[in-house]
Amino acid sequence: MHPTSNDLPKKTRAAMCDLLNARLADAIDLRLQTKQAHWNVKGPHFIALHELFDKLYDVVGEYVDELAERAVQLGGTAKGTLQAVAKHTSLYAYPIAASDGRDHLKALSRALAHFGKSVRHAIEAAAKAGDADTADLYTEISRENDKQLWFIEAHLE
Protein backbone atom coordinates (compact mmCIF):
# COMPACT_ATOMS: atom_id res chain seq x y z
CA MET A 1 0.00 0.00 0.00
CA HIS A 2 1.15 3.51 -0.83
CA PRO A 3 1.11 6.20 1.88
CA THR A 4 -2.08 8.25 2.09
CA SER A 5 -3.80 10.49 4.61
CA ASN A 6 -7.09 8.70 3.94
CA ASP A 7 -8.52 7.96 7.38
CA LEU A 8 -9.87 4.49 6.59
CA PRO A 9 -7.90 1.82 8.44
CA LYS A 10 -5.08 0.32 6.37
CA LYS A 11 -6.65 -3.14 6.67
CA THR A 12 -9.93 -1.83 5.26
CA ARG A 13 -8.16 0.01 2.45
CA ALA A 14 -6.17 -3.09 1.53
CA ALA A 15 -9.31 -5.24 1.47
CA MET A 16 -11.13 -2.67 -0.67
CA CYS A 17 -8.19 -2.48 -3.10
CA ASP A 18 -8.34 -6.26 -3.55
CA LEU A 19 -12.09 -6.06 -4.14
CA LEU A 20 -11.72 -3.11 -6.51
CA ASN A 21 -9.05 -4.90 -8.53
CA ALA A 22 -11.23 -8.01 -8.79
CA ARG A 23 -14.09 -5.97 -10.26
CA LEU A 24 -11.60 -3.98 -12.35
CA ALA A 25 -10.46 -7.20 -14.03
CA ASP A 26 -14.09 -8.07 -14.75
CA ALA A 27 -14.86 -4.57 -16.07
CA ILE A 28 -11.88 -4.56 -18.41
CA ASP A 29 -12.87 -8.02 -19.67
CA LEU A 30 -16.48 -6.84 -20.11
CA ARG A 31 -15.27 -3.83 -22.06
CA LEU A 32 -13.17 -5.99 -24.36
CA GLN A 33 -16.07 -8.42 -24.86
CA THR A 34 -18.27 -5.48 -25.81
CA LYS A 35 -15.76 -4.31 -28.43
CA GLN A 36 -15.47 -7.89 -29.73
CA ALA A 37 -19.23 -7.84 -30.35
CA HIS A 38 -19.05 -4.36 -31.90
CA TRP A 39 -16.39 -5.41 -34.39
CA ASN A 40 -17.90 -8.75 -35.37
CA VAL A 41 -21.67 -8.40 -35.33
CA LYS A 42 -23.47 -9.33 -38.55
CA GLY A 43 -27.08 -9.66 -39.59
CA PRO A 44 -30.18 -7.63 -40.41
CA HIS A 45 -29.85 -5.39 -37.32
CA PHE A 46 -26.15 -4.74 -37.84
CA ILE A 47 -26.05 -0.95 -37.57
CA ALA A 48 -28.32 -0.74 -34.51
CA LEU A 49 -26.30 -3.39 -32.66
CA HIS A 50 -22.96 -2.05 -33.86
CA GLU A 51 -23.85 1.37 -32.41
CA LEU A 52 -25.38 -0.12 -29.23
CA PHE A 53 -22.24 -2.14 -28.53
CA ASP A 54 -20.07 0.92 -29.09
CA LYS A 55 -22.12 2.94 -26.57
CA LEU A 56 -21.88 0.06 -24.09
CA TYR A 57 -18.11 0.03 -24.58
CA ASP A 58 -17.99 3.70 -23.56
CA VAL A 59 -20.20 3.14 -20.51
CA VAL A 60 -18.10 0.21 -19.30
CA GLY A 61 -15.02 2.37 -19.84
CA GLU A 62 -16.40 4.67 -17.13
CA TYR A 63 -16.65 1.68 -14.75
CA VAL A 64 -13.04 0.79 -15.51
CA ASP A 65 -11.78 4.28 -14.79
CA GLU A 66 -13.79 4.72 -11.58
CA LEU A 67 -12.74 1.34 -10.16
CA ALA A 68 -9.07 1.89 -10.98
CA GLU A 69 -8.98 5.41 -9.61
CA ARG A 70 -10.71 4.38 -6.37
CA ALA A 71 -8.09 1.69 -5.76
CA VAL A 72 -5.33 4.27 -6.19
CA GLN A 73 -7.16 6.80 -3.97
CA LEU A 74 -7.10 4.21 -1.18
CA GLY A 75 -3.34 3.76 -1.50
CA GLY A 76 -3.42 0.69 -3.73
CA THR A 77 -2.29 -0.02 -7.24
CA ALA A 78 -4.76 -0.41 -10.09
CA LYS A 79 -4.03 -3.77 -11.72
CA GLY A 80 -5.25 -3.23 -15.25
CA THR A 81 -2.69 -5.05 -17.37
CA LEU A 82 -3.74 -7.73 -19.81
CA GLN A 83 -1.94 -10.33 -17.69
CA ALA A 84 -3.74 -9.26 -14.50
CA VAL A 85 -7.12 -9.21 -16.24
CA ALA A 86 -6.59 -12.64 -17.84
CA LYS A 87 -5.60 -14.10 -14.48
CA HIS A 88 -8.34 -12.53 -12.36
CA THR A 89 -11.48 -12.04 -14.46
CA SER A 90 -14.48 -14.01 -13.27
CA LEU A 91 -16.41 -13.58 -16.54
CA TYR A 92 -16.98 -16.46 -18.92
CA ALA A 93 -14.85 -16.54 -22.03
CA TYR A 94 -16.47 -14.72 -24.94
CA PRO A 95 -17.53 -16.93 -27.87
CA ILE A 96 -15.03 -15.76 -30.49
CA ALA A 97 -16.91 -17.45 -33.32
CA ALA A 98 -20.11 -15.44 -32.65
CA SER A 99 -21.21 -13.33 -35.58
CA ASP A 100 -25.01 -13.31 -35.52
CA GLY A 101 -26.48 -10.39 -33.60
CA ARG A 102 -28.50 -12.66 -31.30
CA ASP A 103 -25.40 -14.63 -30.34
CA HIS A 104 -23.58 -11.42 -29.40
CA LEU A 105 -26.62 -10.16 -27.47
CA LYS A 106 -26.84 -13.41 -25.50
CA ALA A 107 -23.12 -13.39 -24.72
CA LEU A 108 -23.18 -9.77 -23.57
CA SER A 109 -26.36 -10.33 -21.59
CA ARG A 110 -24.67 -13.16 -19.72
CA ALA A 111 -21.53 -11.08 -19.12
CA LEU A 112 -23.48 -8.04 -17.89
CA ALA A 113 -25.62 -10.18 -15.58
CA HIS A 114 -22.57 -11.88 -14.09
CA PHE A 115 -20.78 -8.56 -13.66
CA GLY A 116 -23.88 -7.06 -12.04
CA LYS A 117 -24.13 -9.91 -9.55
CA SER A 118 -20.45 -9.50 -8.63
CA VAL A 119 -20.87 -5.75 -8.18
CA ARG A 120 -23.88 -6.26 -5.89
CA HIS A 121 -21.79 -8.59 -3.73
CA ALA A 122 -19.09 -5.90 -3.69
CA ILE A 123 -21.64 -3.32 -2.44
CA GLU A 124 -22.35 -5.54 0.56
CA ALA A 125 -18.67 -6.26 1.21
CA ALA A 126 -17.69 -2.58 1.09
CA ALA A 127 -20.57 -1.58 3.37
CA LYS A 128 -19.70 -4.33 5.83
CA ALA A 129 -16.04 -3.19 5.82
CA GLY A 130 -17.15 0.36 6.66
CA ASP A 131 -16.21 1.96 3.34
CA ALA A 132 -19.38 3.82 2.40
CA ASP A 133 -17.69 5.65 -0.48
CA THR A 134 -16.61 2.45 -2.22
CA ALA A 135 -20.06 0.93 -1.55
CA ASP A 136 -21.59 4.04 -3.15
CA LEU A 137 -19.32 3.69 -6.19
CA TYR A 138 -20.43 0.09 -6.60
CA THR A 139 -24.07 1.14 -6.22
CA GLU A 140 -23.65 3.68 -9.02
CA ILE A 141 -22.02 1.07 -11.25
CA SER A 142 -24.71 -1.49 -10.40
CA ARG A 143 -27.53 0.88 -11.29
CA GLU A 144 -25.95 1.77 -14.66
CA ASN A 145 -25.05 -1.86 -15.39
CA ASP A 146 -28.67 -2.92 -14.82
CA LYS A 147 -29.74 -0.22 -17.29
CA GLN A 148 -27.28 -1.49 -19.89
CA LEU A 149 -28.43 -5.08 -19.33
CA TRP A 150 -31.99 -3.90 -19.96
CA PHE A 151 -30.92 -2.28 -23.26
CA ILE A 152 -29.21 -5.50 -24.38
CA GLU A 153 -32.03 -7.80 -23.29
CA ALA A 154 -34.65 -5.63 -24.97
CA HIS A 155 -33.17 -6.75 -28.29
CA LEU A 156 -33.68 -10.40 -27.33
CA GLU A 157 -37.46 -10.10 -26.92
CA proximity to 147, closest of 119, 125, 122 = 119
49 within a domain of the structure (yes/no): yes
142 within a domain of the structure (yes/no): yes
Average pLDDT over residues 142-150: 98
3 within a domain of the structure (yes/no): no
Q: If pLDDT is split at 50, 70 and 90, which confidence band does 1 have?
A: confident
79 within a domain of the structure (yes/no): yes
76 within a domain of the structure (yes/no): yes
Per-residue pLDDT tens for 31-80? 999 999 999 999 999 999 999 999 999 999 999 999 999 999 999 999 99
5 within a domain of the structure (yes/no): no
Residue 71 belongs to domain with CATH number: 1.20.1260.10
With 90 as the cut, is the pLDDT of residue 88 above it? yes
87 within a domain of the structure (yes/no): yes
2 within a domain of the structure (yes/no): no
Average pLDDT over residues 89-96: 97
Please state the domain count of the chain: 1
What is the extent of the structural domain holding 92? Answer: 10-154
With 90 as the cut, is the pLDDT of residue 5 above it? yes
Per-residue pLDDT tens for 35-47? 999 999 999 999 9
Please spell the DSSP secondary structure of 67-134, one letter per residue: HHHHHHHTT-----SHHHHHHH--SPPP-TT--BHHHHHHHHHHHHHHHHHHHHHHHHHHHHHT-HHH
